[in-house]
Amino acid sequence: MPANRLTLPSPAKLNLMLHILGRREDGYHELQTMFQFLDYGDEITYALRDDGVIQLHTEFAGVPHDSNLIVKAAKKLQEQSGCSLGVDIWIEKILPMGGGIGGGSSNAATTLLGLNHLWQLGWDEDRLAGLGLTLGADVPVFVRGHAAFAEGVGEKLTPVDPEEPWYLVLVPQVSVSTAEIFSDPLLTRNTPPIKVRPVPKGNSRNDCLPVVTRRYPEVRNALNLLGKFTEAKLTGTGSCVFGGFPSKAEADKVSALLTETLTGFVAKGSNVSMLHRKLQSLL
Ligand SMILES: C[C@@](CO)(OP(=O)(O)O)[C@H](O)COP(=O)(O)OP(=O)(O)OC[C@H]1O[C@@H](n2ccc(N)nc2=O)[C@H](O)[C@@H]1O
Ligand SMILES: Nc1ncnc2c1ncn2[C@@H]1O[C@H](COP(=O)(O)OP(=O)(O)O)[C@@H](O)[C@H]1O
C-alpha cells in the first residue's frame, strides 16, 4: 500500500558565486552561478485527498493562497498530468522570504517531487524540472537535487562537487526583491563567461553585491561583521550573507559572537540535497 501522507524537507541553497553575462530580449538575465544546498530548510507535509482539492493550510504573511509557489506547483502538476487526486498541505516555514536562499523555489520543487510520489504519476526528473522552470528560474536545481554550475537563466545545469564546509548564514531583517535588483541600471551585466571547467578558483564574486549593498545598509553591515572572521559573501540577490568554516565548532563560535545583534544560523553545505536523500530512503 503506498503511503497517503508524506513529510519532506525543503532545503535552502546558496549561490557560491554569481556572474551576470548579459540581458536577454525578454528582460531575463544570462547568468553563471554555482548552487550548493544547505542541510537546513522548511518541512512540508502532504496528505492525499480524493476530491481533487488542493488546500494549503498554513498561512503566509503577504502571500495569498493561490499565489503561493506550493499551491501553484501543485495545481500545474495536477493540470498537466490530468490527475484527479488532491492534497492537504502544511508547512513548517523557517526559511526567510526574499533572503536569496531560494525558499519559495525549494518549496515548489519539494511539492513537485512529493506529489509525483503521492499521486504516483511516474514523471521523470526532466519533465518535473521542465515544469519547475515555468514556476521560477531556481526551481530546476532543487528538482535535480545536486550541487550545480548553472547557466542560461539558471536552467542549464552541470553537476559539481565543491567542498562541503559548515556555513554561518546571517539573515539581515530586510526582504530583497529579485526583480528590483535585476532592474537596477547600475547592475554589472557584462561579465565575460567562464569557459573552462571546473570553474577556476578566484571566481567567487557575486555581481549583485554592489547594487544590493548600496540599497540595503543592513546587508552591508552583515558583510562587514562576518568579513572580520572569514570571506563573507552574498547569496543570490540577497539579503542573506554567508561564510564557510572548516568545522561546526568554528562556525558556532563566530555565530555566538555575531548573533547577539544579528539573526543567523549554522548549517552544513551539501552537494546532494536533503530532499533527495529522504526520497531515496522511501524507495
Ligand atoms: C538570481 C537568483 C540566483 O539564485 O536569485 P535569488 O532569487 O535566489 O536571490 C535566481 O536565479 C532568481 O530566480 P527566481 O527567484 O526563481 O527568479 P524568478 O522568480 O524567475 O524572477 C524574478 C524576476 O527577476 C528577474 N530575473 C530573474 C532571473 C534572471 N536570470 N534574470 C532576471 O532578470 C526578472 O525580472 C524576474 O521577473
Ligand atoms: N512558498 C513560498 N515560500 C517563500 N516565498 C514564496 C512562497 N510562495 C510565494 N512566495 C513569494 O516569493 C518571494 C520570493 O521568495 P523566496 O524564494 O523565499 O526568496 P529568494 O528567491 O530571495 O530566496 C517571496 O517574497 C514571496 O512573496
Q: Catalytic residue, from 75, 88, 126, 138: name it.
A: 138
Q: Note whether 120 and 141 are same-domain residues.
A: yes
- From the CA of 176, give the closest atom in ligand 1: 9
Pocket test for ligand 1, best of 95, 143, 151, 178 (most atoms within 8 A of CB): 178
Whether 156 is a known active-site residue: answer: no
The three three-digit cell numbers of residue 142, written as one number: 532543487
State the pLDDT at residue 147.
98
State the pLDDT at residue 205.
95
Ligand 2 neighbourhood includes 139 CB (under 6 angstroms): no
- DSSP string computed for the chain: ---SEEEEEEEEEEEEEEEEEEE-TTSPEEEEEEEEEEEEEEEEEEEEESS--EEE-S-BTTB-GGGSHHHHHHHHHHHHHT---EEEEEEE--SPTTSSS-HHHHHHHHHHHHHHHHTT----HHHHHHHHHTT-TTHHHHHH-B-EEEEETTTEEEE------EEEEE--S-PPPHHHHHT-TTS---PPPP-SSSPPTT---BTTHHHHHHH-HHHHHHHHHHTTTS--EE-TTSS-EEEEESSHHHHHHHHHHHTTTS-EEEEEEESB-HHHHHHHHH-
Distance 2 CA to ligand 2 centre (A): 31
Q: Note whether 180 and 212 are same-domain residues.
A: yes
Whether 72 is a known active-site residue: answer: no
The three three-digit cell numbers of residue 248, written as one number: 561546526
Ligand 2 neighbourhood includes 104 CB (under 6 angstroms): yes
Q: Note whether 189 and 207 are same-domain residues.
A: yes
Q: Note whether 139 and 197 are same-domain residues.
A: no
Ligand 1 neighbourhood includes 234 CB (under 6 angstroms): no
Distance 179 CA to ligand 1 centre (A): 7
Q: Note whether 124 and 180 are same-domain residues.
A: no
Q: Note whether 72 and 182 are same-domain residues.
A: no
pLDDT in tens, the chain (283 residues): 467 999 999 999 999 999 999 999 998 999 999 999 999 999 999 999 999 999 999 999 999 999 999 999 999 999 999 999 999 999 999 999 989 999 999 999 999 999 999 999 999 999 999 999 999 999 999 999 999 999 998 889 999 999 999 999 999 999 898 999 999 999 999 999 998 888 888 889 999 999 999 999 999 999 999 999 999 999 999 999 999 999 999 999 999 999 888 999 999 999 999 999 999 998 7
Extract the annotated binding site for ATP. 96-106
CATH number at residue 266: 3.30.70.890
Domain residue limits at 221? 166-270
State the pLDDT at residue 2.
60
Give pTM, 2 decimals. 0.96
- Does the complex come out with an ipTM higher than 0.85? yes
Distance 99 CA to ligand 1 centre (A): 12
Q: Note whether 107 and 227 are same-domain residues.
A: no
Q: Note whether 103 and 134 are same-domain residues.
A: yes
Long-range Cβ contacts of 254-257 (<8 Å, 24+ apart): 254/168, 254/226, 254/229, 254/230, 255/168
Ligand 2 neighbourhood includes 154 CB (under 6 angstroms): no
**What is the tens place of the pLDDT at every residue in 229-282?**
999 999 999 999 999 999 999 999 999 999 888 999 999 999 999 999 999 998
Q: Note whether 106 and 12 are same-domain residues.
A: yes
State the pLDDT at residue 234.
98
Pocket test for ligand 2, best of 10, 66, 68, 97 (most atoms within 8 A of CB): 97
Q: Note whether 98 and 207 are same-domain residues.
A: no
Ligand 1 neighbourhood includes 29 CB (under 6 angstroms): yes
CATH number at residue 80: 3.30.230.10
State the pLDDT at residue 154.
85
Ligand 1 neighbourhood includes 32 CB (under 6 angstroms): no
Q: Note whether 24 and 137 are same-domain residues.
A: yes
Q: Note whether 205 and 230 are same-domain residues.
A: yes
Distance 137 CA to ligand 1 centre (A): 6
Cα three-residue angle 231-187-147, rounded to 5 degrees: 50
How many domains are there within the chain? 2
d(CA 136, CA 13): 14
